Amino acid sequence: MGTILIAEARFYPHLNDMLLAGARAAIEKAGHDHETLTVPGALELPGAIALAARSGRFCAFVALGIIIRGETYHFEVVSNESARGLMDLTIQGFAIGNGILTVENEAQAIVRADPAQSDKGGGAAEAALALLRLREQYGS
């Protein structure tokens, strides 16, 4: 069993705590260790994961964050570019679960982040674990 890095964009701490709880529970249930790395926002997640991946210390990654639509186009830029960056890394062979929520308001974020409701943090960890199993099955 290897160590999984949870990279979180901690822009909304009270919401991130729920995502983290779900991700950690799923990783621990699967028998893996985990570490958490915090970055300021979702745009920094792909770069942080790429830098951490170079260390060779992590077998998989979980990206967590919450992007709530505001009044400007910035929501689309952050949502699209963070997703594109993570997808680029995934296509390169990194096992990454994308748990960046893109929502209209805080109420939607709570439902999706809460482990007792939609548990998107746990779902992102399970996605990373699934990709890790595929990589192990088909080689890196």
pTM score: 0.96
| Residue 74 appears among annotated catalytic residues | yes
* CA distance linking residue 85 with residue 24, whole number of Å: 23
* CA distance linking residue 67 with residue 24, whole number of Å: 21
Provide the residue range defining the domain that includes 7.
Answer: 3-138
Summarize the annotated binding site for (2S)-2-hydroxy-3-oxobutyl phosphate as residue ranges.
71-72, 112
Residues 117, 91 contacting (CB under 8 angstroms): no
Read off the pLDDT of residues 36-86 as tens digits, 9 standing for 90 and up: 999 999 999 999 999 999 999 999 999 999 999 988 889 999 999 999 999
- Rounded to 5 degrees, φ, ψ at 64 are -125, 140
> Strand, coil or helix: what is 72?
coil
CATH number for the domain spanning 93: value is 3.40.50.960
Counting the structural domains of the chain, the total is: 1
Residues 62, 125 contacting (CB under 8 angstroms): yes
Active-site choice (14, 32, 34, 74):
74
Read off the pLDDT of residues 87-103 as tens digits, 9 standing for 90 and up: 999 999 999 999 999 99
